[in-house]
Amino acid sequence: MYADGKILIAKSDDKEIYINPKMANRHGLIAGATGTGKTVTLKVMAESFSDMGVPVFLADAKGDLAGTIMPGEENENVSSRVSSMGLVEKGYAFKSYPVTFWDVLSKGGIPLRTTISEMGPTLLSRIMELNDTQSDIMNIVFKIADDEGLLLIDTKDLRSMLRYVSENAAEYSLKYGNLAKQSLAAITRALVSLETEGGESFFGEPALSISDLMKCSSDGRGMIHILDSRQLMLSPKLYATFMLWLISELFESLPEEGDMAKPKMVFFFDEAHMLFDDAPKSLVSKVEQMVKLIRSKGVGIYFVTQNPTDIPDGVLAQLGNKVQHALRAYTPAEQKNLKAASQGFRENPEFKTLDELSNLGTGEALISVLDEQGIPTIVEKCKVLPPQSFMGAISDAARSEFITSSMYTIKYNDMIDRDSAYEFLERRDIQLSEEAERAAMEAAEAKERERAEKEAEKERLRAEKEAERERQRELREEEKARERAEREAERAAEKAEKERQREAEKKSRETQNAINSVGRSVSGTVGRELGNTLGKTVGGSFGKKLGGNLGSSLGRGLFNTFLKK
C-alpha cells in the first residue's frame, strides 16, 4: 500500500519494508515456487503504484487479478494480518482500482494489436522460431517492403509480401543476396502457424498507442492495465514476444528523463522464463540492453518467475528490488538453484538466507530493496501485506460489462483494414492479370487475324486457281469449238468437194453419156453408112444387113477408143 510517500509491501517483526519511489524504476524480481504468494505480492505492488499515480501493466495468467476492479472482502486471514501489521493506522482499507482489460486474442479484454512493421523482423523471427538463414531472409523481406513503400500491417500483408518476393526471387537475389524459395516457403508455413495461434487477431490496426498506457484515472490514480493471458499462455512464444515488443515500444517511444521522483510506468512480466527459454543470445543481449537503458526513461520492469535462475545473469544483475518467496529443493539441481538464489542477497547476520528460503510459509518472503543511495539493503524475512482489492476471478458478465464501458473500447474494438501491401499487391496482380488477359486477347486477335489472312490468302489462291482452271477450261472449250468448227468446215468442205465431185462426175457422166449417145448415134450412123456401103459392095440384102450391123459395131468401137484416148 502507498503510505508516508513510499510503497509499503511487507513487514517483519520489527521493521516495515518500503520501496522508495525514486528507486522503483531500478527494476525488480518477484520469485518463488507455485503457491507461495507471488501473485499476492504482485497485486500489492501494483495497487501501491496505482495509489502513487503510476500506471501499471501486468499479465493475468489465471484470471484471479481481475478482481482488482472490486473492493476486497473481510475474512479471517485478512483481518488477522491487517490487525497484526497495524495497517489500519496506515490507512489500509478495502477498495477497487481503475482497471482496463486487454487481450491479444480479443476474447477477455479490449483487442490489443500491433502491426507487423512495429513488431519488426527480429521479434517476428523469434515468435515464428525461424533459423538463422530464415531470419536473415525475413530481414531482407522487410527491407524490400521498406524500399518499395509497401506497408506491412497484418499477417496477410506479410504473406503477400513473401509470395511476391518468392515470385521475383531471381531478380531480388541480385540486389539483396540469395533468396531461396525453400526458405521463403518455410517462413510462410511458420506464418500460417502463427495465425492459427492468434497472430491474425494480434497483428492489425488500430495498433496500441503507448500513450494510452500512461494515463491515470480521474482521481489521480494510475490505471492498472491487465492483460488477460489465460488463453495467451497456451502460446508461450506469442506471449513472450508480445511482452518483449511492449518493452521495446516503451523504450523507443519514451524520452530520456534521468532520475525521477517516481516511475512513469511499471511493467510486470509474469512467467518471465518464457521470454528467455530457447532465446538466441542476440535476443537476450537486446533484453539486457533495454533493461539497462529503459530505467532512464522512467519505466520500471519487474520480472515474476519461479526461480531467479530463470533470468539470465546479465538481466538479473539489473534487478535492484527483490522479493523471494519460498523455493523447494528436492533434487541436486534444485538445491543448486536454492543456493544460487540465496547468494543474490546481502546476508542478514540474524539468520542464514539459505536455510530460510526453503522454510518460508505462504505469504512470507525474503526481501531486499534499494535504499535512497541505490544500495541493496540486507535481506529481511517478512510477511507481505494483503491486497486492498478483491483477490479472485470475476464473472464473464461482469468482465464484459466492464469492458464495454471502457473509454478504449470505441477506439480499439473494431479492426481497421486500410490500404497496405496486401491490397497493393492484389491490385498489382489484378493489373498484371488484366494485362496478361489483354495480351492474350491481343495475341488471340493477332492469331485470328493471321488465320483470317492465311484463310483469305488461301481463298485468293483457290479463287485464282479456280479462275485459272476456268480460263483453261474456256480455252479448252474454245479450242474444242475451234477444232469442231475446223472439223465441221473440213467436213463441209469435203462434203462440198464430194458434192462438187459428184456434180462433176454427174456432169461428166451426163456429158459422157451425151457424148456417148451422140457418138453412138454418130458412130452407128457412120458405121451403118460404112457397112451399107460395104454391104452394097458385097452385095445382096444380107450383105446390106451385115454391113449395117458391122458398121454400127465398128463405129461404136472406134468412137469409144477415141474417147478413151
CA nearest 308: which of 32, 26, 19? 32
How far apart CA 82 and CA 96 sit, in angstroms, is: 17
- Computed over every residue of the chain, the mean pLDDT equals 87
- 320 near 23, Cβ under 8 Å? yes
- 115 near 152, Cβ under 8 Å? yes
CA distances (Å), 516 to each of 103, 351, 513, 530, in order? 155, 192, 5, 19
Tens-place pLDDT, residues 428-468: 888 888 888 888 888 988 989 898 999 999 998 989 888 98
- 27 near 320, Cβ under 8 Å? yes
Q: What is the pLDDT of residue 290?
A: 86
pLDDT exceeds 80 at position 508: no
C-alpha cell at position 241 = 514476444
Burial classification of residue 477, based on how many CB atoms lie within 10 Å of its CB (0-12 exposed, 13-18 middle, 19 or more buried): exposed
- 552 near 523, Cβ under 8 Å? yes
C-alpha cell at position 395 = 464473472
Q: What is the pLDDT of residue 533?
A: 67
Written as one string, the DSSP assignment of 296-362 is: GGTEEEEEEES-GGGS-HHHHTT--EEEE------SHHHHHHHHHHHTTSBPPTTS-HHHHHTT--T
Rounded to two decimals, what is the model's pTM? 0.76
pLDDT exceeds 90 at position 251: no
How far apart CA 365 and CA 355 sit, in angstroms, is: 13
Tens-place pLDDT, residues 381-415: 999 999 999 988 999 999 999 999 998 999 999 99
Q: What is the pLDDT of residue 499?
A: 83
C-alpha cell at position 52 = 502513487
Query: Which position has the higher pLDDT, 44 or 496?
Result: 44
Contacts of 530 (CB under 8 A, 6+ apart): 547, 551, 554, 555
Tens-place pLDDT, residues 254-299: 888 878 899 999 999 988 888 887 777 777 888 888 888 898 999 9
Strands 364-368 and 321-324: antiparallel
Q: How confident is the model at residue 518 (pLDDT cuts 50, 70, 90)?
A: low
- 50 near 56, Cβ under 8 Å? yes
